[in-house]
Amino acid sequence: RCEDFSLEDWDEVLNVNLSAVFQGCQLAGRLMLAQGGGKIINLASMLSFFGGFTVPAYAASKGGVAQLTKALANEWAGRGINVNAIAPGYMDTDMNARLLADEKRRAEISARIPAGRWGTGADMKGLVVFLASKASDYVHGAIIPLDGGYLSR
C-alpha cells in the first residue's frame, strides 16, 4: 500500500530503475558523441503509461525512464544518437514469478492481453534488433509498447 511504502524502498527503486539508467545513458552518450553517433535502447514498462497498483516507486521510475528517453532524444537526435525505449507488458520473467504462480491472477491478466499470453524474452528480439539497426535511424524518443496488445484495451 502506498501509505506504507518506506522512503528507503522508494529511494532504492528510483536509484536502480531511474538514476542508474540516467548514468548509463550519460556514459554511453559521451562515447557515442565522440564516435559520431549510436543507438540507446532503454527499458521502460507498460507502467510508464499508467500508474499501476501498490507499486508507486516502480510506476514513478518507469514513467521517469519514458520522459528521460524523450529528453535525451530531443538533445541528441541532431547529433546522431537515437534514444528510444521498449515498454514491456506482462512478461514471463523471474520478476513476475509471484504473479505467475497465482493461477487466478495470471488468468485475469492473460484474459486482458489480446495476444492471449504473457511475453517472453524471445518476444523482445525483433524490436531490439530494429531499434539497434539503421532501419530505425529516423525513430527518436519513441516509447514502444511490447505488451501483446494490453494497452489497446
- Residues marked as catalytic: 58
**DSSP 8-state symbol, 54:** S
What is the distance between the alpha carbons of residues 66 and 89, in angstroms, rounded to a whole number?
A: 14
What is the number of H-type helices and E-type strands within the chain? Answer: 6, 3
Whether the CB-CB separation of 143 and 66 falls below 8 Å is answered with yes
Query: How far, CA to CA in Å, does 23 sit from each of 29, 38, 73, 102?
Result: 10, 16, 15, 36
